[in-house]
Amino acid sequence: MTARLTRPAVAALLATVLAGAALRVIALDRTSFWLDESYGVAVARQPVATLVSGHVGDAHTPPLYYVLLHLWMRWGDSDAWLRGLSALLSIIVLALAAWWLARRFGAGKAVLGTALLAVSPYQVYFAQEARMYSLATLLALAVFMLEERAARDRGPTVQLALLAVGAAGLYTHYYLAFVLGGSALVRAVRLASGRGAGDSWRRLVLVHAGIGALFAPWLAVVGTLAASGGQQFHQSLPGVLPYAWFRFLFGFAVVPSTVAMKADPVAAFLHAWPALVAVFGLGLLGAAGLWIARRQAHGVVAAATVRHAAGVVLVVFAVPFVVSLAVPMYGERYLGIVQPLLLLVLVAGLLGLPRRAAALAVGALLAVSVVGTAGWTLGLGGAKEDWRGAVAALEARARPGDRVVLDPWFNAWPVRRYLRREDLDVRTTRAVDPVTELLDCRRNRPEPGGSWWVVLSRSPRAAGVWESGVAPCAVLADSASYPAGVGITVLRFGAAGESGTGSR
């Protein structure tokens, strides 16, 4: 189905896309790079030949995004510029969704769907992060659209486009394998049940076999990653899905990811019970609407599209869960590459309710999105690790020659991104006993008037371990967090007996 659009409809869609674009580029550098962004930039600085060799980084992410970021970095290195690549990709997601929804569902539903995606706090958040998730979302959406088209179009152009986009997706994020697998499964079920008019087993098998062949050179890297034990997530596997559902709708400004939230997530989310009621209530209403509308005869093509989206989402949610029982790889942000498809299914369900209930439910979903996006964009809630502020404070107070210990060692990525001074003695904690090796009272002590500094984030060692380890030659003079409660702590130790030490 190709809907004909009027000029007012085109204007409304364009205005919605432009508004969403503005949300994605406003204050791109409001927050500091966090650990993963700094790591990604460090990887992208490597030569392209190194990036595509599979011998750089931890292999948890394929190389395509890093190659694009490497090229993007030729024209700038600021936080805003580097995040601008993700913002641009997210804007393309929005424009592509608007075009496709208009052709598939008509102007009214296209404007509604585009508006919800434009103000989605989850989409805005990742549009402002220098990571691969906006690219993966774009390619996942493109794969879904091309699978829909390839099932009806026998021409080589669509098949070759699906081949290229599918392979690019696999070289961007491993979860695209589940998107491709989910789409292939939906098409196979249609063919097996006699509902795949225009599709063929031959096209389905050949295209997906071709995608696999193009990805074959990278399979050795995948095998090495699997043998290493996968990605280690510090979270309960059954809790990932409800956590992801909450983030997909409310983003990260409501119940922000603080140290306290990570220590007791159940208490943190129960404290925000009205938000929980809203999010899971919308989910139940969407499911009820899909059940009510399941036997409606009208809108057969649209219903098939929604079932296709639901099938992809189900595979992406279920298969990695099972795989993670053996090789951990299950995380909210990985699942998030199909968040636009999940929104499509949810809105279809809400619109399946009786008219007044549908209007109220869609209005509630829009309100949830606006609250989440406003909280993040205006800085009213949620915060990332403020490495920029932590390093600036350290540079302002440290004296030449002061020792700065980064615990754990990978804190070197964000610290070195922002550190401009070259007169500090910066060390990382790769030793078995870093406290004794790096700050050993038997061999040295802080210079008179000088300090030892310890920068902690995600460390297995608490501040007290360092405090007891440096006694009796040094005492904790003060400590500060950047921002408060999020996870970066800077400790300053001064020589024992000097004035001004021993208090916080």
274 or 59, higher pLDDT: 274
Taking residues 87-106, report their average pLDDT: 95
The average confidence (pLDDT) of the chain is 88
What pLDDT is recorded for position 501?
Answer: 46
Q: What is the mean pLDDT of residues 173-185?
A: 96
What is residue 298's predicted lDDT score, i.e. its pLDDT?
A: 46
What torsion do the CA atoms of 335, 236, 229, 413 make, to the nearest 10 degrees? 70
Is it the case that residue 43 has pLDDT exceeding 90?
Answer: yes
Is the pTM of the predicted complex or chain greater than 0.85?
Answer: yes
Gap between the Cα atoms of 484 and 384, Å rounded:
11
Q: What is the pLDDT of residue 48?
A: 93
Per-residue pLDDT for 297 more than 50? no
| pLDDT at residue 191, as a whole number | 92
Instruction: Answer for the pair 255, 246: CB distance below 8 angstroms, yes or no.
Output: yes
Residue 503's pLDDT band, with cuts at 50, 70 and 90, is very low
What CA–CA distance (Å, rounded) separates 493 from 232?
33
Q: Where residue 382 falls among pLDDT bands split at 50, 70, 90? A: confident
| Residue 196, pLDDT score | 77
- Classified as helix, coil or strand, 451 is strand
**pLDDT interval class at 417 (50, 70, 90):** very high
Give the least confident one: 68-77, 298-307, 320-329, 341-350.
298-307
Q: Is the peptide bond before 47 cis (omega within 30 degrees of 0)?
A: no
pLDDT of residue 504 exceeding 60: no
Model pLDDT, residue 394: 94
Tell me: pLDDT of 433 over 80: no
Question: Beta strands of 81-236 (E only): which ranges?
Answer: none
Least confident of 161-165, 297-301, 321-325, 384-388: 297-301
Place of tokens 């392979």: 167
Report for 4-8, 231-235, 445-449: range of highest mean pLDDT = 4-8
pLDDT tens readout for residues 99-111: 999 988 888 999 9
Contact between 121 and 168 (Cβ < 8 Å):
no
Q: Give the model's pLDDT for residue 262.
A: 78
Query: pLDDT exceeding 90 applies to what percent of the chain?
Result: 62
Residue 499 is predicted with a pLDDT of 47
Q: Considering only 245-259, 444-458, 476-490, which range has the smallest mean pLDDT?
A: 444-458
Q: Which residues pair with 453 in a beta bridge?
A: 404, 492
pLDDT of residue 27: 87
- 489 SS3 class: strand
- Quick check: 332 pLDDT over 60? yes
Q: What percent of the chain has pLDDT over 70?
A: 91
Residue 294 has pLDDT above 80, yes or no: no
**The pair of three-digit structure tokens given for residue 401, joined into one six-digit string:** 């020659």
Q: Which residues pair with 491 in a beta bridge?
A: 454, 479
- The residue ranking higher by pLDDT, 439 or 410, is 410
What does the pLDDT read at residue 231? Answer: 60
Residue 334: in which H helix or E strand, if any? helix 332-335
423 pLDDT more than 70:
yes
Listed in sequence order, the residues at least 6 apart from 70 whose beta carbon sits closer than 8 Å to its beta carbon are 44, 45, 46, 48, 51
Amino acid at the residue 431: A
Of the pLDDT bands very low, low, confident and very high (cuts 50, 70, 90), residue 71 is very high
User: Mean pLDDT, to the nearest integer, of 388-396?
Assistant: 94
Question: What gap in Å lies between CA 244 and CA 253, rounded to an integer?
Answer: 14
pLDDT value at residue 502: 43
- Taking residues 163-181, report their average pLDDT: 97
Average pLDDT over residues 118-136: 97
Listing DSSP states for 264-314 in one string gives -HHHHHHHTHHHHHHHHHHHHHHHHHHHHHTT--S-HHHHHHHHHHHHHHH
